Structure 1
Amino acid sequence: MLKAVLFDLDGVITDTAEYHYMAWKQLASEIHIEIDREFNEMLKGVSRMESLERILRHGQRERDFTPEEKQELATKKNKQYVQLLEQVTPSDVYPGIRELLLELKTSGIHAVIASASKNAPQILRSLQLTDLFDYIVDPDEVAQGKPAPDIFLRGAEAVGATAEECIGIEDAQAGIEAIKSAQMIAVGIGDEALLMASGADVVLPTTEKLSLPFLKSLIC
């Protein structure tokens, strides 16, 4: 029985990846590190601090900053990102997502956000989707970020569901790995070869094909 659907945010509900990329690229440039879109793929699905660490390693500057300075850099990036998020509107919700969330709400199936983004509440308000979710996992609630299963397990626990009663939906490799580590069914959105290699049970090219009957068919 399907009791809860756990959603990643960026790349599943909407696309704020471009804003992340713009903010990280600006910060990296300020500390004399160059990143491109290909490198940015490595930052998807991971936490803010881990993203910063990957950028510093990429520029061979991981030992050039104290923990306090790294925190300042991450905060600076986030301020830039939050400013860019002011451009988000309800029209930015991916096709089929609002309809799926309404189906879940009507059927009494919990919808949960399991995202590494600490800005998830703000983004959902901008998209006018807040009322369609039963729980938003705060990344600070869990010990480890993706690809560890913690955030998905916490989301399930928050709505009283077991792993067997949950489906996770992700667009990033780290996210798919996290869902499978949590012993849940994993639905990937995007690159089939990439996500199947990470353990996805099924991959859809876009969110348009997502529906409650489709999700129920995976768990029955």
Structure 2
Amino acid sequence: MNGRRLTFAVGDIHGCLDELETLLSAIESAAPEGRVIFLGDLVDRGPESRGVVERIMAGPTKAGWQWLTLKGNHEDMLLSARKGLAEMSSWLMNGGGETLESYGGAIPLSHLVWMAELPSILVDPYRIFVHAGVDDSIPLEEQGDDILLWMRTDPNYSGHYWGKHVCHGHTPSRVNPRTVGNRTNVDSGAVFGGVLSCAVFDDDVAGGPINFLIAGGHR
């Protein structure tokens, strides 16, 4: 892969710190430099949400790497619960309890501010990176977090997506990472006994992934 400008899009981590560290090592072994995009859902359900957030907030340890993080629906739920905009019990039942435990019961303000400022979508010349997906029946600029963080896409659906390739997570399956036409899902259910995966894209070439990397689980 050397000589190419690459982007590595990482699926839902959900507090799986060991798998994240293994995948980051694989990414750094695959190229001397590049861009890593975390597609959201860093927290909840798994045992080490705090460790995952701290690792990603700290950023890359090697020169030549850029990390970008998108907001997932679980960050959205956490923030809403902490602000009182949603039922705290709903977040706790959806993995928030494990997150609070990893933080010893109190999430630092700096972490809350960091999560609140995460963007919900990243669009480049050839691709759309987003947590849950996009609705190609309405203009991209009109889509809010109710779509970008929460929508479910039929596993076999591929739209035109304004001539771009969509890469997302959110909907876990053991068959992922999987590309269907113009759409790639990299939520491989790491916290459910699957793997943590990422899709590898050539930044200078349109289309789907040129490779996948995985960490953890059994394939």
TM-score, normalised via structure 1 length: 0.32
Higher strand share: 2
Q: TM-score, normalised by structure 2?
A: 0.32
Higher helix proportion = 1
Q: Which has the larger radius of gyration?
A: 1
